[in-house]
Amino acid sequence: MFSITADLKKRKTSELIVFPFWEGPKGAKPAADLADLKKGVKPPLDEKDFQGELKETALVYLSSSIEKRCLILGLGKHGDVSVERLRQAYAEAVKVAQQMALSKISVVFPSIVELGSLKENEAIEGVCEGLLLPNYRWEDLQTLAEETILLKKIQLIGILPKKMNEVKKWEAIAEGVHFARDLINGNADDVTPQFLGSAAKKVAASFSTVTATVFDKKRILKEKLGLLEAVSRGSAKDPAFIILSHKGAPKSKDHTVLVGKGVTYDTGGLNLKPTGSMETMRDDMSGAATALSTVATAAALKLKCNVTAVIPTTENGIDAKSFKPGDVYTGYSGMSVEIGNTDAEGRLILADALAYSVKKLKPTRMIDLATLTGAAIVALGHELAALFSNDEKLAEKLLDAGEASSETLWRLPLFASYNKKLKSSVADINNTGGRAAGCVTAALFLQNFVGKVSWAHIDIAGPAFQSSEIGYWPKNGVGFGVRLLVHFLSNLK
Ligand code: BES
Ligand code: ZN
Ligand code: ZN
C-alpha cells in the first residue's frame, strides 16, 4: 500500500497529490515545503477561496508539476493539531479520491518541525489512520451498484524511509478493523457461530503464537454452559464457544481475557422484537468480531502480551424449542436465572463466558464487549460506548486508550443499590431489571459472574453499527474497539 519519499522534489508521479495547509489569520499557510507545486496552488490562495479550515479541500489542476492534480487539504489551526484532527483531515482527502475513482495517490505530511506538541510518530498515526480507515467498502451483496474504487498505492512524502515499520503498524491495525467490519456486515445466514469458529481457526493457522479451541454443542452441554445452550434452543444452527489465544509473553503470567458477545442474529426470541427493531440485528456479534480481530491484530503486531478472546456465539432465534420467559435456567456458575425477557440474551451468554474464564483461564483482567442494551444508545448515542468497571485503574487505562484511539468511552456506575431490580422470587437472579437505567442493571447482572477479578464491561450498542457514515467510520459495521484495545494492550507495562 505505502511507499515513502522523504523529499518532495524526489517524488514519483501519481494520479493526485494531497498537500496540507494550516488555517492562519492571513489565510491558508502551507504545512510543508511547496517547491514546484507553488505556482499551481497560488490562485485559490490569492482569491481566498481556500482558508485551510479542518477538512476543507479544493482541487487544483497543475501544469508545471509531474502530477496533473493537487488536492489542497485544510488541517485547521496549527495550535489545535492533534492525532484525531489529522485522522479527520486525511480521511477527507481519501473520500475525494474515492469520488474521483483514483487508486494511486501521493500524500504530503505536515512538516514535522512545525507540529509543535505532536510527536512524529503521532503524526504518522493520524495521517496513516486517516488514509486507511475510510479506505473500505462493503458492497458484496450489491450487484448493480457501481463499485467504490479503493486506494491501492499511497506515496507518503515528507517522512524518513526508516519510518516504514511505524507505517506498517497502522496498516496492520486498519486491516484488523476491516476484518471486524467484514464479520459484522456479512449476512447473518453466512456469519453463523460455525463461521466465527472457522474464522478463529484460520487466525490460529496464520500465526505461530495463536491457538484456537472451538466447543461444539455437545461440548457446550458437557461443560454445563447452560445459559448459552438455553439461548441457542430457538435456532436451527448450533451454538459455539470459541477460545482464541495469542501468547506473546510466554514467560509472563499476565493475561487479558476479552469476552465478546457473539449473537449472530437477535430476533429477541419468544419476546420477539417488533418490526423496526430487528433489521440491523446481524450486528449483535460486533463484540465477538472485535475480540476476535483484536487477538489477530495483536498477533500480527507481535505484541508482547498474553491475550485471549472468549466468544460465546449463537443465534437468538424463535422456534417451538425456544427457551421461555418465566422459566429458570442454570449456567456455568451454578446460579439459577429467571428469564424475565428472552431479548436480554446477551447477558446470559456473557455470564457463562465470564464465569468460565474466571474458573479456567487465570485472567489478570477481563474486558467484555457487547452490543448489550438499547438503553446505552438512549444514554450516550451512537458515538460513545458505555464503560463499567469494578477496578479504578483498569477503568482509567481504558478511558486513556479510548482517548488515544478516539474510540471514546464514557464511564457509568455499577450502582449497587440497583441490584434489587434484578431480584427474582423463583431463582437466584432475574435477567432483566426494568427500563430505567437498563444499561446499568445489565452491567450489574454481569458483575455477579466475575468474582473478584479485575473487570470492565463495554456496552458498544451505540457505536458498533451506523445508519450513515460519520467521518472515517463507514455506514454499517464500524469495527469499534479494535483500535482501542490494541492501544490498551500495547501500553500494558
Ligand atoms: N442486542 C440487543 C441490544 C441492542 C439494541 C443492540 C439496539 C443494538 C441496537 C439486546 O439483546 C437487547 O435486545 N436488549 C434489550 C434488553 C431488555 C429486554 C432488558 C433492550 O435493550 O431492549
Ligand atoms: Zn436481545
Ligand atoms: Zn442482543
pLDDT attached to residue 422: 98
In terms of residues, how long is the chain?
Answer: 493
Strand partners, 243: 213, 310
DSSP-derived pairing of the beta strands 385-389 and 306-316: unpaired
Q: How far apart are the C-alpha atoms of 454 and 392, rounded to whole Å?
A: 9
* Amino acid symbol at 210: V
pLDDT attached to residue 493: 78
pLDDT attached to residue 397: 98
Which ligand 1 atom sits closest to the C-alpha of 283? 8
Closest ligand to the CA of 438:
1
**Are 344 and 287 in contact, with CB atoms under 8 Å apart?**
no
pLDDT attached to residue 117: 82
Closest ligand to the CA of 374:
1
Query: Can you say how many angstroms the Cα of residue 3 is from the centroid of all Cα atoms in its chain?
Result: 26
Strand partners, 108: 157
106 lines ligand 1 (CB under 6 A): no
389 lines ligand 1 (CB under 6 A): no
9 catalytic per annotation: no
pLDDT attached to residue 46: 87
**Are 349 and 227 in contact, with CB atoms under 8 Å apart?**
yes
284 lines ligand 1 (CB under 6 A): yes
155 lines ligand 1 (CB under 6 A): no
Which ligand 1 atom sits closest to the C-alpha of 434? 19
Q: Which residue ranges of the chain lie beneath pLDDT 50?
A: none
Catalytic option among 11, 69, 347, 483: 347
pLDDT attached to residue 426: 98
pLDDT attached to residue 63: 83
pLDDT attached to residue 40: 86
User: DSSP secondary-structure letter at 117?
Assistant: T
| Cell output for 381 | 448515542
Q: How far apart are the C-alpha atoms of 134 and 120, rounded to whole Å?
A: 22
**Are 304 and 249 in contact, with CB atoms under 8 Å apart?**
yes
Residue closest via CA to ligand 1's atom 8 equals 461
Residue closest via CA to ligand 1's atom 5 equals 374
Q: How far apart are the C-alpha atoms of 296 and 1, rounded to whole Å?
A: 20
346 lines ligand 1 (CB under 6 A): yes
Strand partners, 266: 316
Which ligand 1 atom sits closest to the C-alpha of 433? 19
Helix (H) or strand (E) holding 77: strand 69-77
176 lines ligand 1 (CB under 6 A): no
321 catalytic per annotation: no
> If you measure from the C-alpha of residue 324 to the centroid of ligand 1, how many angstroms do you get, rounded to a whole number?
17
Express the helix, strand and coil content of the chain in percent, nearest 5 each. Answer: 40, 20, 40
pLDDT attached to residue 112: 79
Catalytic option among 273, 304, 411, 421: 273
What distances in angstroms separate CA 218 from CA 215, 240, 354, one per listed residue?
Answer: 8, 10, 20
Helix (H) or strand (E) holding 39: helix 38-46
pLDDT attached to residue 114: 78
> If you measure from the C-alpha of residue 376 to the centroid of ligand 3, how many angstroms do you get, rounded to a whole number?
13
Q: How far apart are the C-alpha atoms of 330 and 427, rounded to whole Å?
A: 9
Task: State the DSSP string of 252-310.
Answer: ----EEEEE-EEEEE--TTSPPPTTTSTTGGGGGHHHHHHHHHHHHHHHTT-SSEEEEE
375 lines ligand 1 (CB under 6 A): yes
User: DSSP secondary-structure letter at 150?
Assistant: P
Residue closest via CA to ligand 1's atom 22 equals 374
* Amino acid symbol at 480: F
368 lines ligand 1 (CB under 6 A): no
